[in-house]
Amino acid sequence: MSRAKRKKRAEQIDAALVRECLWRSVALRRPDNGDPQEVWRYMTANNALAMAAARYDGKLAEFLLPSAPIEWASRESKLAEFLANPQRAVESAEKAPKAKDDRELVQLIGYLSTEPDHVPRLIFNSLGMWRIDVEDIDF
């Protein structure tokens, strides 16, 4: 069996369970307890949930995005915001003042140029995760 045929999405296996699994995932949302020692857990967990939900429901993904002061922004925040609402991310980048290094613009261009089937890999990379079943040379 070819690798392409083995890579089935959950909704291709049993579409009826997707909505249930999505809402079970939402139940994992972490509340912000205001503890500066645990803000990274709040940010990373909720950004990960938003990235996963964005595939199915953009408004839900926007709701799941963590709301925290800008100094608490995490490395996956920009990708989560982009996946939840790509149009808003592009509009924000267009309105943003020019930065010396334009790092955020370069990131946005990278997100826009990523092929849809490579988005899961992009998410794993931004979360600092490595999928054992995916080889680096495949991409």
Residue 2, pLDDT score: 44
Q: Report pLDDT for 130.
A: 61
**Range of the structural domain that residue 65 is part of:** 3-138
pLDDT of residue 132: 58
- Confirm if 77 and 43 have CB atoms less than 8 A apart: yes
Longest dimension (CA), the chain: 51
Q: What is the pLDDT along the chain (139 residues), one digit of tens a residue?
A: 444 444 556 677 777 877 888 888 888 888 888 787 888 888 888 888 998 888 888 899 999 988 766 666 677 888 888 899 988 888 887 787 776 667 777 777 777 878 877 788 777 777 776 665 555 555 5
Q: How far is CA 96 from CA 33, 67, 81, 92, in A?
A: 31, 20, 15, 6
Write the CA distances from 9 to 4, 17, 18, 78, integer angstroms.
11, 12, 10, 25
* pLDDT of the residue at 124: 78
pLDDT number for residue 16: 80
Q: How far apart are CA 57 and CA 50, in angstroms?
A: 9
* pLDDT at residue 59 in the model: 92
Q: To the nearest 10°, the Cα dihedral for 115, 110, 92, 22?
A: 40
Structure tokens at 126: 């931004």
Query: What is the distance between the alpha carbons of residues 58 and 39, in angstroms, rounded to a whole number?
Result: 24
Q: How many domains does the chain have?
A: 1
d(CA 51, CA 62): 9
Note the pTM of the prediction, 2 decimals: 0.70
Beta-carbon-side half-sphere exposure of residue 82 (alpha carbons within 13 Å): 21
The pLDDT assigned to 70 comes to 61
